[in-house]
């Protein structure tokens, strides 16, 4: 009987050890949703941006590989088209979506306030920029996604 109990204990310990080894192996195997999320993260991101000057001139960019490059391009374009290139400001950037900018002008005709919106579509971005602000629509940009 004693030998029988020792054998059972050893078998039990062996089963526990095998189970302990099997659990990490099972958790390493990716599930279908994990595989899908890896595919999504591997997709390329597209960045866009809008910059605005005090005279209402603006520059925009879309489908750049980084936020920094998109902002730089929009800023450079704003400076090129503005009579006051030193007043250009980087207003908004977007990743895989759309952005829009509304402005309000002062009595002299210069931009006094800027409001922006970001969304999944151009219409929704314009709506977000207009919400609780009014102003005049100035520009929008959408990336290819």
Question: Is the pLDDT confidence value at 70 over 60?
Answer: yes
HSE-up (13 A, CA, CB side) for residue 102: 19
Question: Is the pLDDT confidence value at 12 over 80?
Answer: no
The pLDDT value recorded for residue 109 is 95
User: Which of 9-13, 22-26, 75-79, 106-110 has the lowest average pLDDT?
Assistant: 22-26
pLDDT tens, 76-115?
999 999 999 999 999 999 999 999 999 999 999 999 999 9
Rounded mean pLDDT of the chain?
Answer: 82
CA distance 28 to 40: 20
What is the mean predicted confidence (pLDDT) over 47-71?
98
CA distance 68 to 85: 19
Domain ranges of the chain: 2-42, 47-142
What is the mean predicted confidence (pLDDT) over 18-32?
43
Grade residue 145 by pLDDT with cuts at 50, 70 and 90: confident
**Read out DSSP for 57-122?**
-EEEEEEESSHHHHHHHHHHHHHHH-SSGGG-EEEEEEESSEEEEEEEE-TTS-EEEEEEEEESSH
The pLDDT value recorded for residue 134 is 81
Q: Are 133 and 142 in contact (CB under 8 A)?
A: no
């Amino acid at each position: 009987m004693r030998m029988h109990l020792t054998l059972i204990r050893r078998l039990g310990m062996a089963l526990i050890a095998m189970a302990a080894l099997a659990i990490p192996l099972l958790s390493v195997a990716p599930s279908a949703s994990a595989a899908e999320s890896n595919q999504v993260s591997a997709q390329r991101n597209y960045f866009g941006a809008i910059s605005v000057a005090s005279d209402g001139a603006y520059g925009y960019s879309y489908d750049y590989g980084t936020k920094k490059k998109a902002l730089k391009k929009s800023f450079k374009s704003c400076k090129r088209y503005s009579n006051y290139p030193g007043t250009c400001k980087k207003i908004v950037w977007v990743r895989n979506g759309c952005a829009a900018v509304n402005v309000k002008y002062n009595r002299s005709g210069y931009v006094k306030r800027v409001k922006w919106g970001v969304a999944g579509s151009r219409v929704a971005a314009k709506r977000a920029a207009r919400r609780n602000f009014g102003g005049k629509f100035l520009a929008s940009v959408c990336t290819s996604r």
